[in-house]
Structure 1
């Protein structure tokens, strides 16, 4: 099983280049960062993680800028979104951004995707929360089309364009992996429809992970890669995930200034 971290990189914590170097020096294989473009002042949407929305949600850097900085400061570190809010992004722009990240990183980009939970945030982007799952699926399919076709065209309910040239193409063949976040009743449908892997959050709605992973792979008829997000720093949890058949564990890294982050990483490295 491989190991990385999932975190919020903010203007109040360690910088992305410094974080990337620190991870690679300690033997971690990946960095996955969260996304929120903004947090509306008046918010009715309940945060799935609890009552009060943590401060770092308000202050997170743009994920593609963050991952680019981490990528150019490292040589081997996998850089991924955990998750990109695709329903709030233009699919043509996102396709170019991820392909560009894959190019400058030498083929180390991963696109973790989801529809999000903050309905007020979505509405500010012109997205109707009621149709966000259909929008997510269509935009991801359009992105894959742009990555893999020389004269790409797409005609759907939400995304519609005649043949276009989009470069650069990704380094990875056929394209960077698309990991589908979430653990709802229809999540596996999305993994099978347009995903290349599954990325549940540890302890949040996934149930018995071993059972869930077995069910997904049986439905798919193949060994679907599974990356578990937000894993607590406990040896028993690592053993549990390994026994369940997970491919990668992303330890939950607190958002701290550089000194505090380095101490935290030293402790996490003991679990590798």
Structure 2
């Protein structure tokens, strides 16, 4: 079982010294991936329901610092050598896909092929409105954006003619390190999100799940959706973050085919505390990781 750490980009995790210290400590203590999420804007009073909390409200204060994950992860990559970096998640339909393809390939190249592009379709109407992007049909927009980005990554001279994005005989360089492809992992815990994973995703990032039973039920749905589209669920990268994770959850997650448990932890305010904080977290899970 791999361990991921979702601790950078927000609040104290938006400070350069903390990013450097946490990233280096995570790599030194055997963590597999550093995850960082995104919101371009936040609002003080949102009418949109946050889907990952029972009360429908996001716990992050609207006034908190929230880094662009591509830029924040570039600093984490520069402070490390081998640990994976992942957006968890980038709200793809809010962005120009040609630009994201360029940014992602650049970060993948500079990090030595360490990037996983975790994406979501978004939940905040207010955020989409501020960016001038339609909230409706964002799922279809996301699927087309990914198809266009994969073409830009894989082909020297690429063309695409879709409903939401079109380009003709363009070159976007550099190309991703690993066979001109960056793994695209989808967030979202609902049936529609799992259908996207089964149809065209490289993996699933289940976030803030209530517990093992919740994970088991969701993976059962995902496996059935994979069967319907003729895919093997075993091909997918499965990463989950539990609401109250415990070391004893690892064996059950492995039985379900989960490859990575992502620990969501607030980073320290003082970079000098990062080494002990991350080492303590790693030691807590060491006996069950083997």
TM-score, scaled to structure 2 = 0.86
**Per-residue deviation, 1:207:** 5.7
CA deviation map 1:87-116 (0-9, x unaligned): 111101110111011101111000001011
CA deviation map 1:120-155 (0-9, x unaligned): 011111122121111111111111111111111111
CA contact (8 A) 1:36 1:57 kept: no
How far apart in 1 are the matches of 2:220 and 2:81? 34
Q: Which moved more, 1:208-217 or 1:74-83?
A: 208-217
2:268 corresponds to which residue?
Answer: 256
2:25 corresponds to which residue?
Answer: 22
2:254 corresponds to which residue?
Answer: 242
How do 1:1-272 residues align onto structure 2 when only pairs under 5 Å count? 1-10=1-10, 12-13=12-13, 15-48=18-51, 49=53, 50=55, 51=57, 53-55=59-61, 58-203=64-209, 208-217=214-223, 219=227, 220-223=231-234, 224-230=236-242, 232-257=244-269, 258-270=271-283, 271-272=285-286
**Per-residue deviation, 1:205:** 9.9
CA contact (8 A) 1:111 1:177 kept: yes
CA contact (8 A) 1:56 1:255 kept: no
How far apart in 2 are the matches of 1:237 and 1:259? 30
3-state DSSP of counterpart to 2:145:
helix
**Per-residue deviation, 1:240:** 2.3
Query: What is the number of equivalent residue pairs in this alignment?
Result: 272
CA contact (8 A) 1:43 1:120 kept: yes
CA contact (8 A) 2:11 2:64 kept: no
CA contact (8 A) 1:24 1:76 kept: yes
CA contact (8 A) 2:25 2:279 kept: no
Kindly tell me: are residues 57 and 238 of structure 1, through their superposed partners in 2, closer, same or farther at Cα, counting changes over 3 Å? farther
RMSD, matched Cα:
2.2
TM-score, scaled to structure 1 = 0.91
CA contact (8 A) 2:86 2:115 kept: yes
How far apart in 1 are the matches of 2:30 and 2:212? 28
How far apart in 2 are the matches of 1:58 and 1:38? 11
Q: Where does the alignment leave 5 or more consecutive residues of structure 1 unmatched?
A: none
How far apart in 2 are the matches of 1:67 and 1:232? 25
Kindly tell me: are residues 92 and 130 of structure 1, through their superposed partners in 2, closer, same or farther at Cα, counting changes over 3 Å? same
Q: Which moved more, 1:107-116 or 1:37-46?
A: 37-46
Q: Which moved more, 1:224-233 or 1:26-35?
A: 224-233
Kindly tell me: are residues 130 and 74 of structure 1, through their superposed partners in 2, closer, same or farther at Cα, counting changes over 3 Å? same
CA deviation map 1:21-62 (0-9, x unaligned): 111111111101011112124421122324463227831111
3-state DSSP of counterpart to 2:237:
coil
3-state DSSP of counterpart to 1:235:
coil
Kindly tell me: are residues 138 and 58 of structure 1, through their superposed partners in 2, closer, same or farther at Cα, counting changes over 3 Å? farther
How far apart in 1 are the matches of 2:197 and 2:58? 30
